[in-house]
Structure 1
Amino acid sequence: MNNSEVLVSLDIGTSKIKVIIGEVMNDSLNIIGVGTANSNGMKKGAIVDIDQTVNSIRNAVEQAERMVGMHIDSVVVGISGNHVELTPCHGIVAVQSENREINNEDIARVIDGAQVMSIPPEREIIDVIPKQFIVDGLDEITDPRGMIGVRLEMEGTVITCSKTVLHNILKCVERANLQVADICLQPLASGSIALSDDEKNLGVALIDIGGGCTTVSVFENDHIAGTRMVALGGDNITKDLSMGLRTSTAEAEEIKKDHGHALYDEAQEDEVFQATIIGSNQKETFNQLQIADIIEARLEEIYAYAEREIRKMGYRELPGGYVLTGGTMKMPGVLELAQDVFQANVRIAIPDYIGVREPQYTAGVGILQFAYRNAKIQGKDLFPSISGEVPQAKPKRAKKQQNHKEETKESKKKESGIANFFKYFFD
């Protein structure tokens, strides 16, 4: 395994933190390591406790490191939420090389030029996504490198987010002894793996239902048109079950995973289970039909809120239909309920990679794929993300990371890309 071809994604979710290690060979992705940990410092998609979030990130990272036997140095971080804004941008430069051949430097200049715009002081640019390049009036070019031209233009989307939210995320990653190789818009990343090119061209809604929140994104003409977040998710279903069955949240979560069904009409009355009544040692018997009634009501509400956000973005009808993903989509009956609510084409997206064939990993795998392709277009250098052998004991690991930090302190001045761009946050 060549370390220079390995990328690591960090998906900080409300219920789980997921670290996925991917090896890129000949433009194809292989998943070689996965680490998951319970997310303790998050609520409704936002960080509420930095120390707990840092510990959760470390736990997920250590699990992934043990799987590959290597030490993770840097990660590509996914970001989403209502604080994210998409703004159209346009850049234009003259090609400067002697033979008029467009190179990486010209692409970097035109992307920098597109970012020259008025941005409020509380917001930060996290990425620029090119829609198309135009060389001497010839448009719809995806990668102009090697072409001959005099004038290079780029039309794209500038992604900005709240400085406060970004600072908190980067602070957590830094304190977990990791460097930020790049920052990636999570709905864009999920869309790169969950949606087909035809769906993105026709117009499609991607609904990612996680633990604490639901991210709704609309894609049209092969590009993201808008993204919104609803503060409802799988955790709300768990809380409803906890109240309805009068049991603890932890036990309600297990019942949801083992016996949950999202469609009341298809639930089985003869599938019974016991739940411990909170405040006592008594156990009471319930059946799947009773909890399906609770689950269906809440999930129907989540779908209705998602539909409302799509309407707010100005979309009444989407020829590509709806694509569902996220951890909550593992439950039986979710697809059939969505078809009843949306009255349109609906499917569930699952990553087609060994070891991550679950909807909860869509964002993490998507971050790897999207970050690699985007870095290739923009000429960013994301490698290497791992180094050396992973230490056996935690104290040694901490010591090794400290030594590694001291060794790289001098070379930090030479770093390029987004890690250096946001470095002032931690000075």
Structure 2
Amino acid sequence: MSKKVYAAIELADQEVRLVVMEIFESRSNILRVERVACSGIQGNSIVDEASVVTAIREATKSAQAALGYRIERVILLIPAVNVKHSSQKVHVQIEDGTRTVRQFHIQQGYQKAIQKKMGDDVEYVNPNKITYLINGSETSKLPKGEECNDFYMYVDLLYASKETIFTFARCIEQANLEILDICLDVFAMGEETAALQQSIDRSIIQLSIEESHTELALFMDQKLMSVADLEKGFGWLIEPLKEKYRLSSEICYRLLQNVFSGKEEENSDVIVYIEQKEENRVEISAKELAEVVLPRLKEWIVEINTACDPIVRNGKTRYVLTGKGSNIPVLKDMETSFNAEAIVYEPSTIGARDGALIADLGAAYVWQDTNRIRQDDRISVNNNELEASIDSINQKAKDGDGGFTRKMKSVILSDKD
């Protein structure tokens, strides 16, 4: 089957996110997005496994009902906790006398590389970067068909917290799903935002802003080099707003998304929010909103600048802002407040234009890239049911059922009656 359907699931801060994507002839199409609020995930930790499993089941059940076929396995996104990487040089000999590089030679080199252990507390997750030295030339392209007696693979591998991987994987398995692959969330984001590709000539600092924390990922030389966690997310920005006006986190987040500017002179006394709470009436103007939130936002940026200053001083650097918090428009007004060029990444994929979905979007591309070596033909959904669904759609298109012409004909005939 030429159409491939993949489901990526992220057990994110306070939320389970599921994206089902169809990839056909190098084109991608979002089939379904499901998001389920879940207090069982706090930051990078699962604090209530049962509620997480329930949220996963809810997301997959809703997606399956809409799509008409079962989701059997998923690409699981893992938070970047205790990330390490190792670089290896693997020698691969062509011992069959053909002097031709075949797929299984590349697979042998890859399997040899991933056998390396980095300690009892971490497990291998993703290939960070793979290049090949063949006949004196280095390339990132698969050298299939090249003539030689041997070649070398330079393999950089990513490892992450074993405990985190097992804890998150257990939730998926308890929800009766298989795991197609595991992927680091920041690495998947780097694929979607092109931070990996852009880091060939500069340092890219990717900021993934979630409710209770911000992940800082450093990309250099087209590799993920390190990850740090700042325990301040957009939830910290809205704390004063919640305390002063006694509003919920959801309302405060919506206010941040819609109604004030980072340019203080543009914030007027016009009331932007009204709520009657028993005997207490809450009225907030754009100016009041800015006065409460902007000081903390500026403090957050100063903290980012201070933490990243050694990297910025060392060479050309760019910040890329991602995550659910990147949906807050005022961040665009604050781009010049960073100590290096900064951009808020905006996904362009129809059906998933939301900063919260960036990791899910990138996961399928990471899988495809790795799968050039693995050659695994599994997809996320039930093959037979997918084929039946495609056949049904094709038959309806052929017969005209549900088509515009058929509907118009029906309307005209009804009118005549």
TM-score (norm 2): 0.84
Q: 1:264/1:363 Cα in 2 relative to 1: closer, same or farther (>3 Å)? A: farther
Identify the residue that residue 328 of structure 2 maps to in structure 1.
331
Answer yes or no: is the 8 Å Cα contact 1:131–1:223 preserved in 2. no
Answer yes or no: is the 8 Å Cα contact 1:35–1:62 preserved in 2. no
Give ranges in structure 1 of 5+ residues lacking alignment: 391-427
Q: 1:84/1:183 Cα in 2 relative to 1: closer, same or farther (>3 Å)? A: same
Q: Which amino acid aligns with 1:300?
A: K
Pick aligned residue for 1:355 from 351, 355, 362? 351
Total equivalences in the alignment:
384
Identify the residue that residue 168 of structure 1 maps to in structure 2.
167
Instruction: Write the distance in 1 (CA, Å) between the matches of 2:88 and 2:263.
Output: 44
Query: What is the CA-CA distance between 1:113 and the residue it aligns to?
Result: 2.2
Query: What is the CA-CA distance between 1:118 and the residue it aligns to?
Result: 4.5
Q: Which amino acid aligns with 2:300?
A: I
Instruction: Write the distance in 2 (CA, Å) between the matches of 1:309 and 1:86.
Output: 21
Q: C-alpha deviations, 1:126-169, integer Å up to 9, x for none?
A: 22333311124321332112222222222122211121111100
Query: What is the CA-CA distance between 1:349 and the residue it aligns to?
Result: 1.3
Q: Which amino acid aligns with 2:226?
A: G
- The DSSP-based 3-state class of the residue aligned with 1:139 is strand
Q: 1:275/1:258 Cα in 2 relative to 1: closer, same or farther (>3 Å)? A: farther
Q: 1:301/1:95 Cα in 2 relative to 1: closer, same or farther (>3 Å)? A: farther
Q: C-alpha deviations, 1:261-282, integer Å up to 9, x for none?
A: 55544333214312456xx541
Instruction: Write the distance in 1 (CA, Å) between the matches of 2:66 and 2:262.
Output: 34
Identify the residue that residue 316 of structure 1 maps to in structure 2.
313
Identify the residue that residue 37 of structure 1 maps to in structure 2.
36
Greater alpha carbon shift after TM alignment, 255-264 vs 360-369: 255-264
Instruction: Write the distance in 2 (CA, Å) between the matches of 1:3 and 1:39.
Output: 35
Query: Are residue 297 (structure 1) and residue 295 (structure 2) matched?
Result: yes
Q: 1:363/1:288 Cα in 2 relative to 1: closer, same or farther (>3 Å)? A: same
Q: 1:208/1:249 Cα in 2 relative to 1: closer, same or farther (>3 Å)? A: closer
- The DSSP-based 3-state class of the residue aligned with 1:11 is strand
Q: RMSD value over aligned CA atoms?
A: 2.4
Instruction: Write the distance in 1 (CA, Å) between the matches of 2:82 and 2:242.
Output: 31
Answer yes or no: is the 8 Å Cα contact 1:181–1:382 preserved in 2. no
Answer yes or no: is the 8 Å Cα contact 1:123–1:162 preserved in 2. yes
Identify the residue that residue 416 of structure 1 maps to in structure 2.
none
Identify the residue that residue 240 of structure 1 maps to in structure 2.
240
Q: Which amino acid aligns with 2:223?
A: H
Identify the residue that residue 386 of structure 1 maps to in structure 2.
381
Q: 1:7/1:323 Cα in 2 relative to 1: closer, same or farther (>3 Å)? A: same
Q: 1:225/1:34 Cα in 2 relative to 1: closer, same or farther (>3 Å)? A: same
Greater alpha carbon shift after TM alignment, 24-33 vs 317-326: 317-326
Q: C-alpha deviations, 1:71-119, integer Å up to 9, x for none?
A: 1011111122332222222222212343122222211221222234452
Query: What is the CA-CA distance between 1:355 and the residue it aligns to?
Result: 0.7
- The DSSP-based 3-state class of the residue aligned with 2:98 is coil
Q: Which amino acid aligns with 2:64?
A: E
Query: What is the CA-CA distance between 1:10 and the residue it aligns to?
Result: 0.8
After superposition, residues 131-280 of structure 1 pair within 5 angstroms as 131-195=130-194, 199-203=198-202, 204-259=204-259, 261-275=261-275
Q: 1:220/1:154 Cα in 2 relative to 1: closer, same or farther (>3 Å)? A: same
Query: What is the CA-CA distance between 1:373 and the residue it aligns to?
Result: 1.7
Q: Which amino acid aligns with 1:282?
A: N
Q: Which amino acid aligns with 1:357?
A: R
Query: Are residue 285 (structure 1) and residue 283 (structure 2) matched?
Result: yes
Q: Which amino acid aligns with 1:371?
A: W
Instruction: Write the distance in 1 (CA, Å) between the matches of 2:309 and 2:144.
Output: 39
Q: 1:197/1:111 Cα in 2 relative to 1: closer, same or farther (>3 Å)? A: closer
- The DSSP-based 3-state class of the residue aligned with 1:177 is coil
Greater alpha carbon shift after TM alignment, 133-142 vs 268-277: 268-277
Instruction: Write the distance in 2 (CA, Å) between the matches of 1:249 and 1:207.
Output: 21
Query: What is the CA-CA distance between 1:327 and the residue it aligns to?
Result: 1.4
Q: Which amino acid aligns with 2:335?
A: A
Instruction: Write the distance in 2 (CA, Å) between the matches of 1:276 and 1:368.
Output: 46
- The DSSP-based 3-state class of the residue aligned with 2:360 is helix
Query: What is the CA-CA distance between 1:17 and the residue it aligns to?
Result: 1.7
Query: What is the CA-CA distance between 1:315 and the residue it aligns to?
Result: 4.6
Query: Are residue 307 (structure 1) and residue 302 (structure 2) matched?
Result: no
- The DSSP-based 3-state class of the residue aligned with 1:242 is helix
- The DSSP-based 3-state class of the residue aligned with 2:63 is helix
Instruction: Write the distance in 1 (CA, Å) between the matches of 2:42 and 2:197.
Output: 35
Answer yes or no: is the 8 Å Cα contact 1:44–1:232 preserved in 2. no
- The DSSP-based 3-state class of the residue aligned with 2:56 is helix
Identify the residue that residue 74 of structure 1 maps to in structure 2.
73
Answer yes or no: is the 8 Å Cα contact 1:11–1:363 preserved in 2. yes
TM-score (norm 1): 0.82
Answer yes or no: is the 8 Å Cα contact 1:15–1:40 preserved in 2. yes
The alignment-based identity, stated in percent, is 19
Q: 1:250/1:22 Cα in 2 relative to 1: closer, same or farther (>3 Å)? A: closer
- Runs of 4+ aligned structure 1 residues displaced above 6 Å come to none
Answer yes or no: is the 8 Å Cα contact 2:195–2:206 preserved in 1. no
Answer yes or no: is the 8 Å Cα contact 1:202–1:320 preserved in 2. no
Query: What is the CA-CA distance between 1:196 and the residue it aligns to?
Result: 6.2
Identify the residue that residue 60 of structure 2 maps to in structure 1.
61
Q: C-alpha deviations, 1:225-250, integer Å up to 9, x for none?
A: 22222222122223332112233434
Query: Are residue 366 (structure 1) and residue 362 (structure 2) matched?
Result: yes
Q: 1:114/1:273 Cα in 2 relative to 1: closer, same or farther (>3 Å)? A: same
Q: C-alpha deviations, 1:49-91, integer Å up to 9, x for none?
A: 1111111122222232233222101111112233222222222
